Amino acid sequence: MPREYRKDPDVISRLSPEQYQVTQENGTERAFGNVYWDNKEPGIYVDVVSGEPLFASVDKYDSGTGWPSFTAPIVPENVVMIRDTSHGMARTEARSAHGDSHLGHVFDDGPAEQGGLRYCMNSAALHFIALADLEREGYGEYRRLFESETPD
């Protein structure tokens, strides 16, 4: 049975002030001072509100910006792109499809050999699930992202 992802008011009530400000009020956390900007552990990142799978460590790279950056979402349908003209500039906002959380922004200065996009996300919008915990947390299907493609 497929898992249902949704914006959960009970979860929202338990968010930290920073998580609330980022996900519900379209905020941005401080660069280089957030929990996942330099996380190198294998695993996936899910929406802190809905739990929907968003990004994997295999697509994470050091963009030098101080925020977790990815080349692509693991489930493209879970990341909605919206034109953002706030702050006097035109950008592309990334939101979670089911939780409607503000995640960050998408820029076209990512690694060219991996599609050229940089998904610059706020750690406060994400919950990291380590590879060793995927099964226990109900995300076992994403273990395949970490399996070697080389034959035995």
Query: How many other CB atoms are found less than 10 A from the CB of residue 32?
Result: 9
- Distance CA(1)–CA(70), nearest Å, equals 29
Q: What is the C-alpha to C-alpha distance for residues 47 and 102, in angstroms, rounded to an integer?
A: 10
Residue position matching structure tokens 């950008």: 91
The residues that bridge with 91 in the sheet, in sequence order, are: 84
Residue 90 CB neighbour total at 10 angstroms: 9
Helix (H) or strand (E) holding 35: none
- Per-residue pLDDT, 148: 72
Q: Residue 136 carries which DSSP code?
A: T
Which tens digit of pLDDT belongs to each residue from 40-95?
999 999 999 999 999 999 999 999 999 999 999 999 999 999 988 777 778 899 99
Whether residue 120 has pLDDT greater than 90: yes
The pTM (predicted TM-score) of the whole model is: 0.92
Listed residue (100, 44, 40, 39) closest to 72, CA to CA: 44
Confidence of residue 2 (pLDDT cuts 50, 70, 90): low
**pLDDT surpasses 60 at 17:** yes
Mean pLDDT of 121-144: 97
User: Any idea which residues carry the catalytic annotation?
Assistant: 120
Average pLDDT, the chain: 93
Q: Which domains does the chain have, with CATH numbers?
A: 9-132 (2.170.150.20)
Helix, strand or coil for residue 70? strand
Q: What is the pLDDT of residue 1?
A: 43
Judge contact between 52 and 68, C-beta under 8 A.
Answer: no
